[in-house]
A = this chain, B = another copy of it.
Amino acid sequence: MARTTGSDGARTEEAIRQAAIDLIAARGFEAMTLRELAEKVGLQAGSIYRYFPSKAQLLVALLLEHLNFLLEQWRLERPADAGPTGQLRAFIDFHIRSHTLRRREVFVANMELRSLAPDDYRRVVALRKRYERELTRILAAGCASGDFTLSDPKVSTFAILAMLTGVGTWYREAGRLKQPELVALYTGLVMRCVGRADDGAGRVPARPAAARGPTRKSRKAPGVALETH
């Protein structure tokens, strides 16, 4: 058969991206085969090459898309007028939300850096660094204003980011704790870390879920665990 009736390029490409994220998250980039991927999408392996010039480029496309999404979304959400504490609170909220909702993307972006060719690696890492710097900036501002007390803002950035990102490792959509509680818990921990212990008592924010950010095509959670720590 020459063509599946009603097939459509844009739709197919998006289907490949989603399936790829799932498969790479589950098995790893090297372990995933294009046959598997194609089958998941309902294509022949060769057909993937209509959309991505190589397996390697597929990975790059996925990572860049994810990181750009993250940066863009944060740019839209961040409260430019808030003080350091407010900004930190917003960052934690954003990070937990995006890192639970897009757990697979995050996981892939963290695990598959070494599968990138040197040039692609540099491009991707540059974007990660830009995201990191958002937190560093907030922490530095807080230190400067006296809101936060940190012995080493650089290390604190790494430490807090690792702590927050870790949530994707064990979070399950069906688990005991829902996003709002998570945000509250992690906010408490981070506030303590930066020396604002009192602000940690903050209850779960009351913003309606609908207004809360980067969801995109919410897909059902796969049964796969995304373990790391």
Interface residues, chain A, with chain B CB atoms under 8 Å away = 26-28, 30-31, 110-111, 113-115, 125, 128, 132, 151-152, 155-156, 158-163, 165-167, 169-170, 177, 182, 185-186, 188-189, 192-193, 195, 197, 227-229
Q: How far is the CA of A156 from the CA of B182 in the complex (A)?
A: 11
CB of A187, distance to nearest CB on chain B (Å): 11
Q: Which of B115, B182, B195, B228 is the one whose CB lies under 8 Å from A228?
A: B228
Chain B residues with Cβ below 8 Å from A229 are 110, 128, 132, 158, 161-162, 165
Closest chain B residue to A181 by CB distance?
B152
Number of copies: 4
Q: How far is the CB of A69 from chain B (nearest CB, A)?
A: 17
A113 touches which of B114, B166, B195, B227 (Cβ 8 Å):
B227
Q: Which residues of B contact A30 (CB under 8 A)?
A: 28, 30-31
Query: Once the chains bind, are A185 and B155 in contact (CB under 8 Å)?
Result: yes
A-B complex: 3 closest residue pairs judged by Cβ atoms: A162-B166, A30-B30, A163-B163
Are the CB atoms of B169 and A155 closer together than 8 Å? Answer: no
List 12 extra interface pairs beyond A26-B114, A159-B167, A162-B169, CB under 8 A.
A30-B30, A113-B228, A155-B177, A155-B182, A156-B189, A158-B166, A159-B189, A163-B166, A165-B229, A189-B193, A192-B193, A192-B195
27 residue pairs from A and B, CB less than 8 Å apart: A26-B114, A28-B28, A28-B115, A30-B30, A30-B31, A31-B114, A110-B228, A111-B111, A125-B227, A132-B229, A151-B185, A151-B188, A152-B177, A152-B185, A155-B182, A155-B185, A155-B186, A156-B189, A158-B166, A158-B229, A159-B163, A159-B166, A159-B186, A159-B189, A162-B167, A195-B197, A228-B228
Pick the contact of A162 from B165, B185, B193, B197 — CB < 8 Å?
A: B165
A151 to B162, CA, bound (A): 20
Chain B residues, Cβ within 8 Å of A113: 227-228
What are the residues of chain B within 8 A of A182 when measuring CB–CB? 155
Residues on B with beta carbons closer than 8 Å to the beta carbon of A197? 192, 195, 197
In the complex, how many angstroms separate the beta carbon of A29 from the nearest chain B beta carbon?
8
